[in-house]
Chain A
Amino acid sequence: DGGITQSPKYLFRKEGQNVTLSCEQNLNHDAMYWYRQDPGQGLRLIYYSQIVNDFQKGDIAEGYSVSREKKESFPLTVTSAQKNPTAFYLCASRSDRSNTGELFFGEGSRLTVL
């Protein structure tokens, strides 16, 4: 079945360590997104990518990095520069060819920094 797979679902790390969250999609979508969600809050855009080898900063990019070497993959690295990395991270993708232009989301990765 087509969809978006995020891994790991839960991740614990020590303060000061870099962490990479995986996002893979087999929907043949061009655009991919990373959002952060804190408890009781909405989604905030970290980075997005319109096409392979291209990505743009969202509203809260500081302390994060991404790459888009393949159409299917858009990994997010939470660096030690991110002051408060504990959060729920959501990856999404979207097709330009869809009539609805809807976003498809993964199930999320919950990162806890100890």
Chain B
Amino acid sequence: DAKTTQPNSMESNEEEPVHLPCNHSTISGTDYIHWYRQLPSQGPEYVIHGLTSNVNNRMASLAIAEDRKSSTLILHRATLRDAAVYYCILRDNDYKLSFGAGTTVTVRA
């Protein structure tokens, strides 16, 4: 079963930032936080991951709470191509990787 909780949906205007929260209160010390996104009728693609420190890459930023029980994916300037379902999952040494329902992001032009 998924170990994370995300809101079902979020809306944003184009060119505005989007903050996607994820709660993972049962996270263990060795769990990495991974984010994926899925465009319609496609397989998910990797976005970003982190362990303790905040992370930035060309797609997004990941802010991790100090107690690691929550994190936030930040899309700095939403575009129409960012409309997708975003999944937050935990990865440790266990090979079993479970996804939840994710957050559906809608971007208004």
Contacts and interface: CB of A to CB of B under 8 A. Distances in A.
A48 interface: yes
B91 interface: yes
A67 B101 CA distance: 27
A111 B47 CA distance: 27
B97 A45 contact: yes
Nearest to A110: B41
B43 A92 contact: yes
Contacts, number: 58
Contact of A45 (B34, B44, B85, B96): B96
Given A59-B1, A100-B49, A102-B34, A43 B96 contact: no
Interface string B67-109: 0000000000000000001010001000111111110000000
Given A41-B101, A45-B98, A108 B87 contact: no
A103 B98 contact: no
A71 to B, nearest CB: 15
A90 to B, nearest CB: 5
Given A103-B46, A107-B43, A35 B99 contact: yes
A21 B98 CA distance: 21
A103 B96 contact: no
Interface of B: 1-2, 32, 34, 36, 41-46, 49, 85, 87, 91, 95-102
25 contacts: A31-B95, A35-B99, A41-B101, A42-B2, A42-B85, A42-B99, A44-B98, A44-B99, A45-B96, A48-B96, A48-B97, A50-B95, A56-B95, A56-B96, A90-B43, A100-B49, A101-B34, A101-B49, A102-B34, A103-B36, A103-B97, A105-B44, A106-B43, A108-B42, A108-B43
